[in-house]
Chain A
Amino acid sequence: GENVEQHPSTLSVQEGDSAVIKCTYSDSASNYFPWYKQELGKRPQLIIDIRSNVGEKKDQRIAVTLNKTAKHFSLHITETQPEDSAVYFCAPPNPDSNYQLIWGAGTKLIIKP
């Protein structure tokens, strides 16, 4: 969407290394920041989310950090494994609507063996 920028569009990392994907949004009033994972041929699924009252949230090898001043939030995956290969989407709220999210264009993460 025009109010969301997701980078990079493709990321290739060696197995065991870390991966970081960044999502920049425009609405300073946004207070919910989710990341979804879509494996090849499957449906998107929520992997982690963060609310605006915290700066970081971790769940095992996955973490999300939020920088409200700079209006971006990032997905961090440590010790990457082959099953982390997928397309990842951020989906912050649409600043022009109370009833929609804006989906990033997606980042294809490739884990090299």
Chain B
Amino acid sequence: EAQVTQNPRYLITVTGKKLTVTCSQNMNHEYMSWYRQDPGLGLRQIYYSMNVEVTDKGDVPEGYKVSRKEKRNFPLILESPSPNQTSLYFCASSLRVMNTEAFFGQGTRLTVV
């Protein structure tokens, strides 16, 4: 089954404790991205990747890192999480960035206390 898989689905952590949210897709998509979704603010892009070893900042990259060592995986790293990073996070992939459907993961609800 074609899908985008994120883990974990829910996470509560403390300020400053490094964490990684994993994202994997099995559709051989070139383009992957991370979004955060906050009430009233819609979807805001954090980072995106056009292909292996090619990443770039989205609209709200501060406090986040990503890597794309393999085509299927695109982890999101929070080196030192802060309470303002409490949010719902979505990973998405698409065959190409333009003119193609974006497939979203199930979402990760992160709470930083």
Contact = CB atoms under 8 A, between A and B. Distances in A.
Given A43-B106, A44-B90, A103-B43, A32 B48 contact: no
Name the interface size band of chain A. Answer: 20 to 34
Interface string A62-93: 00000000000000000000000000010101
Name the interface size band of chain B. Answer: 20 to 34
A12 interface: no
A51 B99 contact: yes
B105 interface: yes
A98 B101 CA distance: 16
Nearest to A32: B99
Contact of B107 (A43, A51, A93, A103): A43
A105 interface: yes
A1 to B, nearest CB: 8
B61 interface: no
